[in-house]
Amino acid sequence: MPDSQQTDAAQALDSLCARYWDFQCEERPLAAVMGGATVESDIVFREAPADHVRRAATARGMLAELAAIPQDELDPTQLATRDMLARDLKALDDALAVHADLRPSLYPLGIEFTLGSALGATSLSDSDSAERYADRLLGVEAALEGIKESLRAGRDLGIRWPRIVIDRAMAQIAGTISAAPGDSSYMAPFRRIERRPDPCTSQAAQALAAVEDGVHPALANLARFMADELGGDSARETIACTDAPAGEGWYRYLIEHFASTDAEPDAIHAMGLEEVARLTALCTEAASDAGFADDLAGFRQALSADPAQIAPSADALRERIECLSKQIDGRIPDLFGRVPRSTYGVKSIPEALSVRLPPAYAQPAPADRSAPGIHWVTSLPERLPAYMHIPLALHEAWPGHLMHVALAQEIPGLPAFRRHGAYRNMASVEGWAVYSESLGHDIDLYDTPARRYGVYESELWRAVRLVVDTGIHWKGWSREVAVAYMMGHLNLPEETLATEVDRYIGYPGQALSYQIGNMSIRQMRDDAARRLGSRFRLRDFHDCLMAVGPAPLAVLAASVDRWVAGQTA
């Protein structure tokens, strides 16, 4: 076929991708902020029902344009981009059929968390950008009205929220606004420029007033709205997302969205049971190596009773993770040929939020590298024993989330929606992070039975999620049954596991992404090693995956297959 035809198809795809990214930036400004794009609008987010209808209509039009581009005139990278764009656009349209637009996330990733993470990562380059940022904070109150409108429309349709989700969401908002306005994440962009010649003092004062008089009161008002209109008799005691209008379709939609698979919930549940059995055997093997022959319970009890496993304070825990992270960073060149230009730091989650948040999470660096990524760790050391430090550091920082997202932002030639759309491909992002935990074996970090147990327990945790998430949302498990199952298989405090279960209740399907993605990436590595034999190089395999960036699992697998074919040619 003539090269000009190939160029025409590629140009048409590039143009559509650019328009889609502009559309994303306009419709979801927080995504643009995280992508380092300049956002002129003061609107922070658009989440009213009419916004979702408008987005779906635009997506249908773009899908029609995409279908007209000849696929046989695109190269493999362009085909992957085409498939990812089609998936994104289809999801916007499919969401309406299962009333996703009327079920905004309340917990654990409520709007207060998303706002704090995205706005707190904003880069202020000059007084104009600082002025826009302060104006954007003033727009939060109006934007929250759109979320209330969606919640009311859902309630009128018959969508009722589990009582535990409403209670947790209100408590999380209360924890967020308990911080002094000047110490809040919303003021982080100004704290980062305090030592610059122009610290934008007047704009910082405007922003502080906006947080104090606008953002915090608006969030408090949202919590009152939840209590008055979603709680009480409007809430339900059942916890399955399927116990709602279009519930089964909603759960299947979430499985595909988060886990990048069309597998049936029953099949995922069975897969989880098999994985739990496999990983429990590995935990038992580590216990035997520690002198507890076939006595996993005894080994767990000994670990729990060992005071050396718990850091004496939040500061001490953070310092230990910082030292460990530096040790890991020194081994990264053994595993990767390419590393990001950005960097990261370790910070403690405020204690008021630590009770309701995971033991650790990652906040990626802004795309323009104006600030570091942050590996947040709990201020409650008892929630993060020493045997879990290595897998969590590998998972959240390098080579896990912070490195994965940073590398994706630096991939040359990819359209912006791919470079900045990591968390629309959760199975790839979370699967990679769990797979990264296993890389501690490749660089000899798991050199004691307790540390080996730690990485097996960590993966077991993710396997248990396959069972519990489908158990809750498909098989009718109660909260008590779910907590008891987790307690029977994991060596974590009951309070921690109860918080985990509440997370699965409030965020259906997301917990499936970890182990499904991990198993898929592990299978890609095993297949590549088998096919290449002595020619297999782990660094090259990892660089192949990182060159694709976060993507649906099928796109990753096809890219690895092409890489292997190229190695054997």
Question: Residue 143 has what pLDDT?
Answer: 92
Residue 6 has a pLDDT of 53
Whether residues 19 and 120 fall in one domain: yes
Q: Please indicate, yes or no, whether residues 21 and 64 belong to a single structural domain of this protein.
A: yes
Burial class, 156, CB count within 10 angstroms (exposed 0-12 / middle 13-18 / buried 19+): exposed
pLDDT at 31: 75
User: Which one-letter DSSP state was computed for residue 252?
Assistant: H
User: Coil, helix or strand for 392?
Assistant: helix
Average pLDDT on 66-78 reads 94
- The whole-number average pLDDT for the span 41-58 is 92
Do 214 and 257 fall into the same domain? no
State whether 58 and 105 are in the same domain: yes
Q: What is the domain range of residue 361?
A: 253-519
- Using pLDDT thresholds of 50, 70 and 90, give the confidence band for residue 33: confident
Name the pLDDT band for 569 (thresholds 50, 70, 90). Answer: confident
Average pLDDT of every residue of the chain:
94
Any domain includes 52: yes
My answer on whether 52 and 155 are in the same domain is yes
Q: What percent of the chain is predicted at pLDDT more than 90?
A: 84
The answer as to whether 556 is a domain residue is no
Burial class of 566 by CB neighbour count within 10 A (0 to 12, 13 to 18, 19+): exposed
| 185 and 258 belong to one structural domain | no
Residue 292 lies in a domain: yes
- What mean pLDDT is predicted for residues 341-366? 89
Residue 460 in domain = yes
Whether the predicted model's global pTM rises above the 0.85 cut: yes
Query: What is the layout of strands, in order, in the sheet containing 360-363?
Result: 344-348, 373-377, 360-363
* 310 and 175 belong to one structural domain: no
Pairing of strands 373-377, 344-348: parallel
Q: Is residue 290 classed as helix, strand or coil in its secondary structure?
A: coil
**Which tokens sit at 439?**
């890389």
Same domain, 221 and 83: yes
Same domain, 317 and 228: no
Say how far apart CA 233 and CA 421 lie, in whole Å: 39
**What total number of domains does the chain contain?**
2
Tokens describing residue 30: 């927080």
Q: Are residues 321 and 395 in the same domain?
A: yes
Residue 282: which of 98, 441, 46 has the closest Cα?
A: 441
In the listed set 213, 237, 261, which residue is the last one of a domain according to the structure?
Answer: 237
Overall average pLDDT of the 23-49 stretch = 81
Task: Answer for the pair 489, 464: CB distance below 8 angstroms, yes or no.
Answer: yes
pLDDT at residue number 365: 86
Does any domain span residue 567?
no
Residue linked to tokens 């060159």: 547
